[in-house]
Amino acid sequence: MELLCIQSQEHPELPLAELKAVMECENIIADIEVITEGLVILRNISKEDIDSYYKILTKRLGYTHEVHELIKRSDADNFDEDMASIIWSEYIDETFAVRVKRFNTEIDTVATERRSGTLILENCENIKVNLSKPKTLIRVVAHQNDIYVAIERIKLNKKHFEDSKPHKRPFFYPGSMNPKLARCMVNLSRIKEGQLLLDPFCGTGGILIEAGLIGCKVVGSDVYWKMKNGTSINLNYYGITDYRTFNLDVRELKMYEKVDSVVTDPPYGISTSTGDISGDDIFREFFKSIYDNMKDEAYLCMASPHYVDLKPIADEIGFEIVEQYGIKMHRSLTRIISVICKKI
């Protein structure tokens, strides 16, 4: 069986990297077929695993907009015949709608939706089209001459990433990370539901919110009491209860329980963030402080400015940089997202 993923095209690499990280930590066994940027198919999934994999992906992914069960591969020449061959009564309950998504093709979206709907109605009894609130959504995806027919079993909560933007939270402070990137970084850290995640520069709690919403236990600390308190306000607002927050300099952090992952967005060279150090030393002191608080082979996912070379610092402390991705912020700054593993 196969799952079709429609991904964000906001970044050329992060959506696929996030998907691979979730598959790795959740032991999702499937072959990845990249059709084009923004369109990925997971192949060779067993019938026994398809439902659980579907639930995991729709719960966790940030940079994937839709996940559907793929029910037919076709092409422009054989589309009518292939649509008519599907036993639609096995997929549609009472009402349905067809939505077409295009990738690098000139196919007529409206005409294809209408034609698909007609073909379904001709081959299935006791169903109706409902464009506003269908019980079943049929997603037709066209790429060049190929057409993929899929059904939405579980809906992703895309609205969450709009509703939880930093300025919409009870406690707001400028410069907070957007929730979609925060969720992606949580996923890149390979954390699993029930495990413990630490953000030692928690700010307003954006990363902890995303980790908490996928079922992680979370711990946050910040040198500023106002941020520590604001993080608690925000976590409570989103119904996250399994958390602890501390008002600490990161160098004073001594966890009673070693954490499964660290995800954070440290202040970029702001000396007041750690009281008496600045520049690369902030990252060196940060690495030293969290090393003993992490389990062996645990992952750190962090953001940093492009002008800081983390590799020599990581090598010195005992970390290994596994992946890095650049996000252009403006002309003079590129944010680097690094995935780093604690070596044994």
Report residue 233 CA to chain centroid gap: 24
pLDDT (tens place) for every residue of the chain, 344 residues total: 999 999 999 999 999 999 999 999 999 999 999 999 999 999 999 999 999 999 999 999 999 999 999 999 999 999 999 999 999 999 998 999 999 999 999 999 999 999 999 999 999 999 999 999 999 999 999 999 999 999 999 988 889 999 999 999 999 999 899 999 999 999 999 999 999 999 999 999 999 999 999 999 999 999 999 999 999 999 999 999 999 999 999 899 888 899 999 999 998 754 334 445 556 788 999 999 999 999 999 999 999 999 999 999 999 999 999 999 999 988 889 999 999 999 98
Look up the pTM and report it: 0.95
Cα distance between residue 63 and residue 80, in whole Å: 32
Q: Which 3-state string (H, E, C) describes 235-291?
A: HHHCCCCCEEEEECCHHHCCCCCCEEEEEECCCCCCHHHCCCCCCHHHHHHHHHHHH
Pair 188, 339: CB distance under 8 Å: yes
Cα distance between residue 311 and residue 283, in whole Å: 11
pLDDT of residue 329: 87
pLDDT of residue 277: 58
Pair 289, 313: CB distance under 8 Å: no
73 is written with which tokens?
Answer: 């591969």
